[in-house]
């Protein structure tokens, strides 16, 4: 049976056929191509970075690209995952809580993605069981093959139709050999079979190790990892070799011979100072050219658009490579042991630094050990401070101590989500005289609940997807710093992930103390941005502006912080008298 014959067998399955290939309306084989990226040896090697970099190179050529991440876990989304286990939870504009790799795709491609670009095993199994309950399988026994694999393929094809993509980039989470990924890999094998030659490109990302005791690179782990893919019917077209240093020709030759992948398609993906330098190296190694030939999309390339995109990107990379200034920002949180917990934050800082020709060094401060007595010592080397988002009681008093030090010593401050809330708590206690003020998340029976549950959150017991999530419009107050940062705009769109808000009963008391709420939800008393006028830079936002920061369009919140930190670094700490001038 040919690929076209299979694709004509759409939507339903009877006892007369074993094929189950539901097809979206308007789908034509060959219109959309697929690049599928698999991991081997171990997870966390950077499949998302590789896939997004390659997608950017094709996007620069004028092709329309659409990424999707397929996760093996049974969670419906990533919202309840502990940052220590899985890194940060990235929130899309439509409110979908996803894996952190979606943030990498959004930043590299400058796209706002949707729930169509992310799926978990939990979602696929849920969909299959609902179909079974509704009788859509016409009495057939429901199985992993062809029904669950059919759902996976249908998800990819729906994305292709909806986005009009020339190339869909599919990242399979985890590694080959993981039990939970077996059906994904089988679905990709079927996809290549059904779509036919020149329509699907398989990429294996592997690890080349260099044990210090040996002093040379070893490829055996990479060979055996790729062997698992071969055993599952996946013949890679390209192999990307992750390593600390450039992979030698000898090692590339070994991998090429073992896997039947030509040397020209075995690439070194060694460490770089920034992930944003990787597309340039991949272009130099002609990875993009190999893919466009494999997928036969050379006729869709726009050379003029590509050169323009290259020039803009290289200018950005030059600022990353040769910054003229240096500044130090303290990040005060409780997940500092796992840097991936703050992945988007770190990238937003990097974007702002590049825009200002500055290298931004990060000082990690674990607030579980910070007190009012030692806050000054903990922050003595910082030119600015970020108090990021978080949940729970642990480390909160340390964050409040850091906020107070920043406010009283005119240290540039940016509070994000929970950091916004802690700024309100600190101000209420130490400026407005509301002794014992707190958030009801931290102290249920606080005498002054200046931070309290949003009305729609009362009575909510389920955790997954229950917060105020996704993109929301924010009204800006004219004449405020927030308004100026956004070029005088009346409204901006920011992304949120929170259950608590500034208690409306305390807004006027906080304003009377000198706090300015410069951004709010339209038509609602939900405060979204705060600032202190008599301070070099003291800004908090209930949103997560790092989710919308882009390499070439940095978040104004982060730009403001880094600019203020650069000013402090150049002239030294500001006194109260100087601040009022």
Q: Is 544 a catalytic residue?
A: yes
d(CA 318, CA 309): 14
β-bridge partners, 520: 475, 527
Name the pLDDT band for 212 (thresholds 50, 70, 90).
Answer: confident
Choose among 21, 138, 552: nearest CA to 319: 552
Angle between helices 418-430 and 396-408 (to 10 degrees): 70
Mean pLDDT of the chain: 91
Please indicate, yes or no, whether residues 540 and 451 belong to a single structural domain of this protein: yes
When comparing pLDDT for 355 and 341, which is higher? 355
CB 389 within 8 A of CB 369: no
- The maximal CA–CA distance of the chain, rounded, in angstroms, is 85
- Tell me the per-residue pLDDT of 19-70, one tens digit each, with 9 for 90 and over: 778 899 999 999 999 999 999 998 888 999 999 999 999 999 999 999 999 9
Torsion angle in degrees (nearest 10) through CA of 419, 423, 426, 427: -170
Specify the residue for token string 């949940």.
391
Dump pLDDT digits (tens) for 146-194: 999 999 999 999 999 999 999 999 999 989 989 999 999 999 999 999 9
Return all residues near 371 (Cβ < 8 A) that are at least 6 apart.
Answer: 397, 398, 401
Q: Report the SS3 class of residue 540.
A: strand
Cα–Cα distances (Å) from 134 to 138, 310, 520, in that order, read 9, 51, 44
pLDDT tens-digit readout, 362-413: 999 988 889 999 999 999 999 999 999 877 777 899 999 999 999 999 999 9
Residue 270 lies in a domain: yes
Gap between the terminal Cα atoms of the chain? 80
> In which residue are the tokens 């809580």 written?
97
Q: Could you tell me if 309 and 84 are in contact, meaning their C-beta atoms sit under 8 angstroms apart?
A: no
| Three-class SS state of 310 | helix
More confident site: 372 or 339:
372
Q: Kindly state whether residues 258 and 355 are assigned to the same domain.
A: no
Q: What is the DSSP letter of 363?
A: E
What pLDDT is recorded for position 336?
Answer: 62
Contacts of 8 (CB under 8 A, 6+ apart): none
Could you identify the residue written with the tokens 């020209």? 264
The confidence score (pLDDT) of residue 467 equals 78
Backbone angles phi, psi at 509, to 5 degrees: -70, -40
Shared domain for 309 and 332, answered yes or no, is: no
Cα 288 versus chain centre, distance: 23
Decide if 113 is inside a domain.
yes
Residue finishing a domain among 298, 316, 334:
316
> What is the domain-level CATH number for residue 254?
3.40.50.300
| Phi (first) and psi of residue 173, to 5 degrees | -65, 160
Question: Does residue 352 sit in the same domain as residue 311?
Answer: no
Which percentage of the chain shows pLDDT scores above 70? 92
Is 384 in the same domain as 261? no
For residues 465 and 351, the model is more confident at 351
pLDDT interval class at 578 (50, 70, 90): low
Instruction: Name which of 548, 512, 516, 550 is nearest 535 in CA terms.
Output: 516
Quick one: 234 and 287 in the same domain? yes
417 is catalytic: yes
The whole-number average pLDDT for the span 92-118 is: 96
CATH at 442: 3.40.50.880
Q: Does a structural domain hold residue 356?
A: yes
Question: Mind giving me the DSSP string for 88-138?
Answer: PPEE-TTS-EE-THHHHHHHHHT----GGGEEEHHHHHHHHHHHHHTTTTT
Provide the pLDDT for residue 10: 43
Same domain, 528 and 575: yes
Same domain, 102 and 161: yes
Domain contains 361: yes
**Is 329 within 8 Å of 565 (Cβ atoms)?**
yes
135-159 pLDDT per residue, tens: 888 888 899 999 999 999 999 999 9
- Domain end (from 295, 316, 337): 316
Residue 208 in any domain: the answer is yes
Closest Cα partner for 536 from 361, 342, 406? Answer: 406
Residue 180 corresponds to which tokens in the numbers above? 């939970």
Contacts of 249 (CB under 8 A, 6+ apart): none
Kindly state the tokens that stand for 97: 């809580």
433 touches 445 (CB < 8 A): no
Active-site annotation holder among 97, 151, 350, 546: 546
What does the pLDDT read at residue 11? 43
Q: Is 152 part of a structural domain of the chain? A: yes
Residue 315 has pLDDT above 60, yes or no: yes
Same domain? 175 vs 217: yes
pLDDT at residue 266 above 60? yes
Domain that holds residue 150: 32-316
Q: In 3D, which of 378, 357, 413 has the Cα closest to residue 531? A: 413
Instruction: Please provide the size of the chain in residues.
Output: 581
CB atoms within 10 A of CB 531: 23
Q: Please tell me whether residues 372 and 290 are part of one structural domain.
A: no
| Residue 397, token pair as written in the block | 């008093």
Confidence (pLDDT) at 81: 85
- Can you tell me the distance from the alpha carbon of 282 to that of 198, in angstroms, rounded to the nearest whole number? 21
Question: Pick the catalytic residue: 186, 417, 501, 531?
Answer: 417
Say which of 86, 147, 498, 544 is annotated catalytic.
Answer: 544
How confident is the model over 281-287, as a mean pLDDT? 96
| 125 pLDDT above the threshold of 80 | yes
Task: For residue 12, name the pLDDT band (cuts at 50, 70, 90).
Answer: very low
**Bridge partners (DSSP) listed for residue 408:** none
Q: Sheet containing 448-453: which strands, arranged edge to edge?
A: 437-439, 448-453, 500-502
* Alpha-carbon span 68 to 115, nearest angstrom: 9
User: Does 390 share its domain with 308?
Assistant: no
H helix or E strand, kind and range, residue 563: helix 556-571
pLDDT at 106 over 90: yes
pTM of the model: 0.92
What average pLDDT does range 304-328 have in this prediction? 95
Q: Which of 265, 284, 316 is the last residue of a domain?
A: 316
Per-residue tokens: 249: 């020709």
Q: Are residues 503 and 419 in the same domain?
A: yes
332 assigned to some structural domain: yes
- The domain total for the chain is 2
* Domain annotation covers residue 410: yes
Between 462 and 541, the higher pLDDT residue? 541
Phi-psi region of 41 (alpha: psi -120 to 50; beta: other; left: phi over 0): left
pLDDT value, residue 79 = 86
């Amino acid at each position: 049976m040919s690929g076209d014959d299979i694709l004509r067998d759409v939507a339903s399955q009877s006892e007369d056929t074993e094929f189950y290939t539901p097809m979206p309306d308007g789908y034509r084989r060959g219109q959309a191509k697929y690049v599928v990226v698999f991991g081997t040896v171990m997870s966390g090697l950077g499949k998302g970075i590789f896939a997004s970099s390659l997608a950017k190179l094709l996007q620069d050529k004028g092709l329309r690209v659409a990424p999707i991440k397929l996760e093996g876990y049974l969670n419906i989304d990533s919202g309840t995952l502990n940052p220590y286990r899985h890194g940060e939870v990235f929130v899309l504009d439509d409110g979908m809580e996803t894996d952190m790799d979606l943030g990498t795709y959004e930043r590299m491609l400058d796209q706002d993605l949707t729930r169509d670009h992310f799926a978990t095993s939990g979602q696929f199994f849920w969909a299959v069981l609902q179909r079974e309950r509704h009788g859509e399988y016409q009495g057939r026994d429901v199985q992993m093959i062809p029904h669950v694999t059919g759902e996976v393929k249908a998800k990819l094809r729906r994305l292709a139709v909806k986005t009009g993509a020339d190339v869909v980039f599919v990242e399979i989470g985890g590694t080959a050999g993981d039990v939970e990924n077996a059906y994904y890999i089988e679905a990709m094998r079927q996809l290549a079979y059904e779509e036919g030659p020149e329509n699907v490109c398989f990429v294996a990302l592997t690890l080349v190790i260099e044990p210090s005791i040996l002093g040379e690179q070893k490829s055996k782990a990479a060979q055996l990892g790729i062997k698992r893919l071969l055993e599952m019917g996946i013949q890679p077209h390209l192999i990307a070799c992750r390593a600390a240093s450039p992979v030698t020709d000898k090692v590339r030759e070994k991998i090429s011979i073992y896997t039947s992948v030509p040397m020209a398609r075995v690439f070194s993906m060694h460490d770089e100072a920034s992930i944003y330098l990787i597309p340039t190296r991949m272009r130099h190694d002609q990875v993009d050219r190999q893919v466009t030939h494999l997928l036969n999309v050379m006729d869709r390339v726009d050379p003029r658009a590509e050169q323009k995109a290259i020039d803009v990107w290289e200018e950005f990379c030059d600022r990353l490579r040769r910054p003229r200034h240096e500044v130090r920002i303290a990040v005060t949180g409780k997940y500092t042991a796992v840097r991936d917990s703050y992945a988007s934050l770190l990238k937003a800082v990097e974007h702002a630094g590049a825009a200002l020709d500055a290298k931004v060094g990060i000082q990690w401060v674990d607030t579980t050990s910070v007190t009012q007595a030692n806050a000054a010592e903990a922050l003595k080397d910082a030119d600015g401070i970020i108090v990021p988002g978080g949940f729970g009681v642990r480390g909160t008093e340390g964050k409040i101590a850091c906020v107070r030090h920043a406010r009283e010593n005119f240290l540039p401050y940016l509070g994000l989500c929970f950091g916004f809330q802690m700024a309100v708590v600190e101000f209420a206690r130490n400026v407005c005289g509301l002794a014992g003020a707190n958030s009801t998340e931290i102290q249920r029976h606080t005498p002054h609940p200046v931070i309290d549950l949003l009305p729609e959150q009362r009575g909510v017991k389920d955790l997954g997807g229950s917060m105020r999530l996704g993109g929301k419009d924010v009204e800006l107050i004219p004449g405020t710093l927030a308004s100026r940062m956004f070029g005088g705009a009346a409204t901006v769109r920011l992304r949120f992930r929170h259950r608590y808000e500034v208690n409306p009963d305390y807004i006027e008391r906080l304003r009377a103390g000198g706090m300015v709420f410069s951004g709010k939800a339209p038509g609602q008393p939900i405060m979204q941005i705060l600032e202190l006028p008599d301070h070099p830079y003291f800004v908090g936002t209930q949103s997560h502006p790092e989710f919308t920061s882009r390499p070439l369009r940095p978040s104004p919140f982060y730009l403001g912080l880094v600019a203020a930190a650069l000013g402090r670094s150049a002239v030294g700490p500001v006194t109260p008298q100087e601040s009022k001038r």
